[in-house]
Structure 1
Amino acid sequence: MVAMRAKVKIASIARYPNDEAPTQETLSFNFPSKDGPYPSDGSDEDQQFARFSPMGSLYLTVANPALIGKFAEGDTFYLDFVPVGK
Structure 2
Amino acid sequence: MPEMRAKVKITNIASYPTVGTPTQEALTFDFPSKDGAYPADGSDEDQQFAKFSPCGSLSLTVTNPALIGKFKVDDKFYLDFTRVD
Q: TM-score with structure 1 length normalisation? A: 0.94
Q: Which residue of 1 aligns with 2:66?
A: 66
Q: Which runs of 5+ in 2 are unaligned?
A: none
Mark the CA change 1:11 to 1:19 in structure 2 (over 3 Å): closer, same or farther.
Answer: farther
What SS does the corresponding residue of 1:72 show, helix, strand or coil? coil
Deviations 1:1-30 (Å, cap 9, x if unpaired)?
110000000001000011641101000001
Query: Does residue 25 in structure 1 map to residue 16 in structure 2?
Result: no
Query: Does residue 38 in structure 1 map to residue 42 in structure 2?
Result: no
Aligned residues: 85
What RMSD over aligned residues (CA atoms) do the two structures have, in Å? Answer: 1.0
Q: Which runs of 5+ in 1 are unaligned?
A: none
Mark the CA change 1:52 to 1:43 in structure 2 (over 3 Å): closer, same or farther.
Answer: same
**Aligned sequence identity (%):** 71
Amino acid at match of 2:51: R
What SS does the corresponding residue of 2:12 show, helix, strand or coil? strand
